[in-house]
Structure 1
């Protein structure tokens, strides 16, 4: 299905957009950290980035204001242990006419010249709905938990929407279609551990055989988890730890267990000190019973065979159901497009 834009939103129709490149050193590896870094840069330098620039999570930055080239230094971590250098350089300017050229007859050379204009339009269209549903601003699709299906095995099937701008002769169109993805089932980490290993009793997580521990480690590594007992930000799992509550470390010139630390600092008792826990960062160990999985994390590996049938049933829609979902999305019930003068829906 397509949504036809007969006129660009006014704020992109009457002024230039400045294009800049972003170079982050050292490489942040994951795009999520790139967004955090650029968000901090803009917050710490609000007078420069006003209005705020739009960032694609990689190398491109777009702003309505002519931001000067410059270098910014910032640190992350409780002990300010991680330092990043951000180098921002001016590259080019996109004028309203550059955007209009996308809808005219083009030569092969024009296609290269207009690539940045098209990138800008993709971000304009995608950033609002994506950020509304906690996905990266430049993600091609976003997914929602509404009517999700439990696939068991620690995974769920979510329905979402693909979106992209397509220039055609004399107009721009936004292509919208239904998309489906497997996500890590949000909620208590312990429940997901049990579901993935097909176990029922939480006590079974206290003495896992090595093959099951390796299977669980492969499944959960990199998954964002958030503590339920503190305001600590969500962090990715770097490893699993046996008997997490019994692990020891030095504090106040004596040996402490993780369980004792949580009892003293958070006034909570570790009910299952010998259960598998997780490591976040380099050294921090957190018992699994105090963690929950952050919603909306895509499972990017091959869907397990036991889940494939249910996922296929969920992702197979009758044409009229697919059309209804797209119309509901475009109408604003779950989607959010930039304002346009005229919107025309055409069939799938």
Structure 2
């Protein structure tokens, strides 16, 4: 059977009709014995009509040796207007085929086609009515780099969970080794395991050591300590943008998501240094004046960016966004705004203390009572006792 169309057609027949179509050779043999139909060869011509037999033939007596058919639905995929017959017809019909007027047609019993084989109809054209106009959009066209990017694997020891700390370590590495070991390259780092450069580094694998001041150090034992990190940088492969160029040129149907993700990391590198990253967005009080929200909070303006593939090429999509941040003010004033009352005249109740504890947990604060020494701490909890009643041991004899 020649397949000339991609339409999916479901043919529903009655049991007697399917029986007649499944046994035409036996009916032809019986007719020849009775000499009632001398034109048996006419059944081997092309089948021009897929409609079932007329209703008046449904009660016709079945041929000798016929069996009752249990098929009710037959799914043909694909189906053409004509079934062609070549060569002799065997009386044995293969599985998955239907003998229709002496011609064996392949059928699929309800097998769904793959989504990869689906082809959507092409757009016929663009609108012609109306007046053309220019609109402003939050898309900025970008050019695909002429050369491929180099992908390096990064391993930091001891392991760090925070992306911000990883970026600080990598920034310190670039600051110390850019002119000597990095060949004046400015890498793009995703904050985890991947590093990308526009040119090759002078090595394929190398280890570095950097020292970084621990901002979370409490400072009770003296000056803040420096932590030493070991960074192993190893070449993996070159990021290929050939398939992305083929997709933008209309020669490829599937967009290479890996290449788009690499470009997104590279374009986010500068924003990660200049602004405060929160999720996939960036915020700063310098973009627009913060707006007070009450309860010790203020709104910062920011943006979200992502690389997109369009009909005109690569486009950088930028959407404006806002987020709430804690207003920079003394902790006592923050608690007073949060509770909406004066907190200096009387102690906090249990419900107020729980509310303040949830609001301050994980927040970084800077002490101001030590003049030139401005230590930063991260709040982990809130005591149930006021400071005038709180005692702690200094040594074995004093508290």
Match of 2:163 in 1: 31
In the superposition, the TM-score normalised over structure 2's length comes to: 0.51
> In the aligned structure 2, how far is the partner of 1:190 from the partner of 1:166?
47
> In the aligned structure 2, how far is the partner of 1:35 from the partner of 1:6?
26
Q: Kindly indicate whether the alpha-carbon contact (under 8 Å) linking 2:196 and 2:266 is maintained by their aligned counterparts in 1.
A: no
Instruction: Return the match for 2:186 from 28, 47, 52.
Output: 52
Q: Kindly indicate whether the alpha-carbon contact (under 8 Å) linking 1:226 and 1:234 is maintained by their aligned counterparts in 2.
A: yes
Instruction: Return the match for 1:139 from 277, 280, 286.
Output: 280
Alpha-carbon shift at residue 194 of structure 1 (Å): 1.9
> In the aligned structure 2, how far is the partner of 1:4 from the partner of 1:140?
17
Instruction: Return the match for 2:245 from 100, 112, 117.
Output: 100
Instruction: Return the match for 1:200 from 342, 345, 354.
Output: 342
Q: Kindly indicate whether the alpha-carbon contact (under 8 Å) linking 2:299 and 2:324 is maintained by their aligned counterparts in 1.
A: yes
Compared CA separation, residues 92 and 237, structure 1 to 2 (3 A): farther
Deviation string 1:49-77 (CA, Å, 9 cap, x unpaired) is 33232212122211234233233344554
- Worse overlay, 187-196 or 119-128: 119-128
In the superposition, the TM-score normalised over structure 1's length comes to: 0.58
Deviation string 1:221-263 (CA, Å, 9 cap, x unpaired) is 2223334444657553233345458654648x9858xxxxxxx
Secondary structure of 2:381's partner?
A: strand
- Larger radius of gyration between Structure 1 and Structure 2: 2
Structure with the higher fraction of residues in helix conformation: 1
Gaps of 5+ in 1: 257-348
Match of 1:343 in 2: none
> In the aligned structure 1, how far is the partner of 2:394 from the partner of 2:246?
65
Pairing of 1:74-89 with structure 2 (within 5 A): 74-76=210-212, 77=214, 80=225, 82-89=227-234
Compared CA separation, residues 169 and 249, structure 1 to 2 (3 A): farther
Higher relative contact order (CA 8 A, sep 6+): 1
Deviation string 1:56-115 (CA, Å, 9 cap, x unpaired) is 21222112342332333445545647554433222222356466356244344x62xx51
Compared CA separation, residues 69 and 141, structure 1 to 2 (3 A): same
> In the aligned structure 2, how far is the partner of 1:99 from the partner of 1:233?
49
Q: May I ask how many residue pairs the two structures share in their alignment?
A: 244
Alpha-carbon shift at residue 166 of structure 1 (Å): 0.5
Pairing of 1:1-348 with structure 2 (within 5 A): 1-5=137-141, 7=143, 13-46=145-178, 47-49=180-182, 50-67=184-201, 68-76=204-212, 77=214, 80=225, 82-94=227-239, 97=242, 100-101=245-246, 103-105=248-250, 106-108=252-254, 111=256, 114-115=257-258, 117-135=259-277, 139-144=280-285, 146-204=288-346, 207-228=347-368, 229-230=371-372, 232=374, 234-241=376-383, 242-243=385-386, 248=392, 250=394
The alignment's C-alpha RMSD in Å is: 3.4
> In the aligned structure 1, how far is the partner of 2:391 from the partner of 2:198?
52
Alpha-carbon shift at residue 172 of structure 1 (Å): 1.0
Gaps of 5+ in 2: 1-136, 215-222
Compared CA separation, residues 31 and 88, structure 1 to 2 (3 A): same
> In the aligned structure 2, how far is the partner of 1:36 from the partner of 1:88?
16
> In the aligned structure 2, how far is the partner of 1:104 from the partner of 1:239?
58
- Worse overlay, 232-241 or 38-47: 232-241
Match of 1:268 in 2: none
Q: Kindly indicate whether the alpha-carbon contact (under 8 Å) linking 1:126 and 1:140 is maintained by their aligned counterparts in 2.
A: no
> In the aligned structure 1, how far is the partner of 2:239 from the partner of 2:205?
17
> In the aligned structure 1, how far is the partner of 2:244 from the partner of 2:394?
61
Compared CA separation, residues 4 and 71, structure 1 to 2 (3 A): same
Q: Kindly indicate whether the alpha-carbon contact (under 8 Å) linking 1:143 and 1:181 is maintained by their aligned counterparts in 2.
A: no
